[in-house]
């Protein structure tokens, strides 16, 4: 698989400078929005076929999500493209300092299967807004969505500007061997390491949006009913196949009985008939992941849910207790609708447990005390934090989304997406009328004199 000629065509297109202007970028964003709106019914059906996504969930978390991103970027693009002025140190007077946003060039975006549309198109919006040419690689594990994306974009965009390449892991590796100017990857930590290693061989900058085990830390003063509802909602979204889904609960032992009772009450309200018949629950993506998740059910005591059907790839939202902290269930990212509930006796012991584990993409804190929340935030590390909620921190456009450590590198969403695909080029413009001679040899000042004025010359 030699994709070199295709990427070379994109680089030639970029070198012509056609992507640099405001009008061109806006037209491409408008076209992208129009294509998505025109194919909305087809996208809903593809997402249902790949993941069993209910129409309401598919629109809010995928299609409408991206359309909102497009509108946000289009309305703010002129401001984002402006150069930023910076203070010029006295040693360079008279002069002017600025940083000018410039696109990297040709960007590669590798998408995942869990949100096969949103997590491919949301970074695409930032890449196009920043003026790049883009090569998209959808996930082969969402084949209906992948094929539709290729069809709708290939028919609307010049491939020299926006190219879609379908394929499996070998296709991704072949693309990573090409000379791109930026790589954006969303997926597992293990594959993220491969992407980063491939990028390092060519010194290509990368953004890695990964995941990890995002914990819910529930303090004794939390509202158990509200906490249970919001955690269960975050766990049910996309059948738990969300990078920032609540992975497990770490609850103060004093509140655990009430919290478990509240989970049962919330469960009954969410699924008054049964989870199996609910129109609001998606399905597991494939049999490999289904079998992996089903194996977790034996690693603790199922107190809620647990029903499953391999033929339908259905796994009910499941709450478990009695889980060994060293079991695979607590060492691997679950990425499914299984929720282990563990307890702690003191907040210090809970914080120590969190610090011993890899930094997650999200930390969810449930407490009614602001000082306690601030203490937890200060004493822990994660990509992001939500206090008294789950998942909602990744939905806005003004709060960057990104991980740290094993949960990722870099961030995006809204202005952060534009910045991710932009190189801010530092420029110093010097005047020519005045050219003090003190900096040129031979030296005219002593070291003692230089020390006195040095801080002034470089600026405070």
Average pLDDT of the residues in 113-137: 98
* Cα Rg, the chain, nearest whole Å: 25
| Together in a domain, 186 and 251 | no
What residues pair up with 110 in beta bridges, in sequence order? 137, 185
Kindly state whether residue 235 falls inside one of the protein's structural domains: yes
Average pLDDT of the residues in 287-291: 97
Whether the CB-CB separation of 235 and 245 falls below 8 Å is answered with yes
State yes or no: is 243 an active-site residue: yes
| Together in a domain, 201 and 271 | no
Structure tokens at 22: 């405001």
CATH code, domain with 140 = 3.40.605.10
Whether residue 445 is predicted with pLDDT greater than 90 in this model: the reply is no
Per-residue pLDDT tens digits for 60-72: 999 999 999 999 9
Domain range enclosing 181: 4-210+410-423
Per-residue pLDDT tens digits for 244-274: 999 999 999 999 999 999 999 999 999 999 9
Per-residue pLDDT tens digits for 163-199: 999 999 999 999 999 999 999 999 999 999 999 999 9
Please, which pLDDT band fits residue 455 given cuts at 50, 70 and 90?
Answer: confident
Average pLDDT of the residues in 297-308: 97
Structure tokens at 437: 């001679």
Whether residue 460 is predicted with pLDDT greater than 80 in this model: the reply is no
The active-site residue out of 62, 178, 209, 406 is 209
Kindly state whether residue 452 falls inside one of the protein's structural domains: no
| Together in a domain, 193 and 224 | no
pLDDT value, residue 321: 98
Whether the CB-CB separation of 259 and 341 falls below 8 Å is answered with yes
Q: How many domains does the chain have?
A: 2
State yes or no: is 326 an active-site residue: no
pLDDT value, residue 27: 98
Average pLDDT of the residues in 131-141: 98
Kindly state whether residue 88 falls inside one of the protein's structural domains: yes
- SS3 label, residue 130: coil
For a pLDDT cut of 90, what percent of the chain falls above it? 91
| Together in a domain, 56 and 201 | yes
Please, which pLDDT band fits residue 91 given cuts at 50, 70 and 90?
Answer: confident
| Together in a domain, 349 and 371 | yes
pLDDT value, residue 439: 81
Helix, strand and coil in the chain, % to nearest 5: 45, 20, 35
pLDDT value, residue 443: 86
Average pLDDT of the residues in 141-158: 97
Whether residue 459 is predicted with pLDDT greater than 80 in this model: the reply is no
Structure tokens at 44: 């809903």
Kindly state whether residue 428 falls inside one of the protein's structural domains: no
pLDDT value, residue 65: 96
Least confident of 182-186, 353-357, 444-448: 444-448
b/e per residue 270-284 (b: at least 16 CB within 10 A): bbeeebeeeeebbbb
Average pLDDT of the residues in 351-369: 97
| Together in a domain, 155 and 247 | no
For 149, 231, 241, 458, the CA distances from 1, given in Å and listed in that order, are 21, 44, 31, 52
Tell me which residue of 372, 127, 361 sits closest to 243, measured CA to CA: 361
Please, which pLDDT band fits residue 17 given cuts at 50, 70 and 90?
Answer: very high
| Together in a domain, 234 and 323 | yes
Whole-number average pLDDT of the chain:
96
Biggest CA-to-CA distance, the chain: 89
Kindly state whether residue 346 falls inside one of the protein's structural domains: yes
- H or E segment and range at residue 224: helix 224-236
The active-site residue out of 62, 243, 333, 406 is 243
Structure tokens at 319: 């709450």
pLDDT value, residue 161: 98
pLDDT value, residue 101: 98
């Amino acid at each position: 698989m030699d994709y070199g000629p295709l990427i070379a065509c994109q680089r030639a297109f970029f070198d012509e400078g056609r992507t640099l202007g405001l009008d061109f970028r806006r037209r491409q964003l408008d076209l992208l929005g129009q294509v998505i709106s025109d194919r909305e019914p087809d996208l809903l059906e593809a997402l249902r076929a790949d993941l069993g996504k209910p129409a309401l969930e598919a629109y809010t978390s995928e299609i409408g999500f991206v359309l909102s991103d497009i509108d946000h970027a289009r309305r703010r693009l002129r401001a984002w493209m402006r150069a930023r002025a910076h203070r010029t140190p006295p040693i360079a007077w008279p002069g002017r300092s600025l940083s000018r946003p410039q696109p990297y060039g040709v960007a590669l975006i590798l998408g995942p299967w869990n949100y096969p549309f949103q997590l491919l198109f949301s970074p695409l919006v930032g890449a196009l807004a920043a003026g790049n040419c883009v090569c998209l690689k959808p996930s082969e594990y969402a084949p209906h969505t992948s094929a539709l994306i290729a069809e709708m974009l290939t028919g609307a965009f010049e491939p020299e500007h926006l190219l879609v390449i379908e394929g499996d892991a070998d296709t991704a590796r072949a693309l990573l061997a090409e000379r791109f100017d930026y790589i954006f990857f969303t997926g597992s930590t293990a594959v993220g390491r491969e992407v980063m290693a491939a990028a390092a061989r060519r010194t290509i900058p990368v953004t890695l949006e990964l995941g990890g085990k995002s914990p819910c830390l529930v303090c004794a003063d939390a509202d158990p009913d509200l906490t249970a509802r919001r955690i269960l909602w975050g766990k049910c979204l996309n059948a738990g196949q969300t990078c920032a889904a609540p992975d497990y609960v770490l609850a103060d032992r004093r509140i655990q009985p009430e919290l478990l009772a509240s989970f049962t009450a919330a469960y009954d309200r969410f699924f008054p008939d049964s989870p199996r018949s609910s129109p609001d629950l998606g399905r597991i993506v494939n049999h490999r992941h289904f079998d992996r998740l089903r194996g977790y059910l034996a690693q603790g005591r199922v107190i809620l849910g647990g029903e499953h059907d391999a033929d339908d790839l259905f796994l009910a939202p499941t709450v478990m207790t009695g889980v060994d902290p060293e079991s695979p269930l607590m060492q691997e990212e679950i990425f499914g609708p299984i929720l282990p509930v563990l307890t702690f006796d003191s907040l210090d012991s809970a914080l120590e447990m969190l610090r011993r584990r890899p930094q997650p993409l999200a930390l969810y804190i449930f407490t009614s005390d602001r000082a306690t929340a601030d203490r937890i935030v200060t004493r822990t590390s994660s990509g992001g934090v939500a206090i008294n909620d789950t998942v909602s921190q990744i939905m806005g456009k003004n709060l960057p989304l990104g991980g740290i450590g094993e949960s990722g590198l870099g961030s995006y969403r809204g202005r952060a997406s534009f910045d991710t695909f932009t190189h801010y080029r530092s420029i110093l413009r010097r005047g020519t009328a005045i050219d003090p001679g003190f900096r040129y040899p031979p030296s005219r000042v002593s070291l003692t004199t230089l020390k006195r004025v040095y801080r002034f010359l470089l600026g405070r």
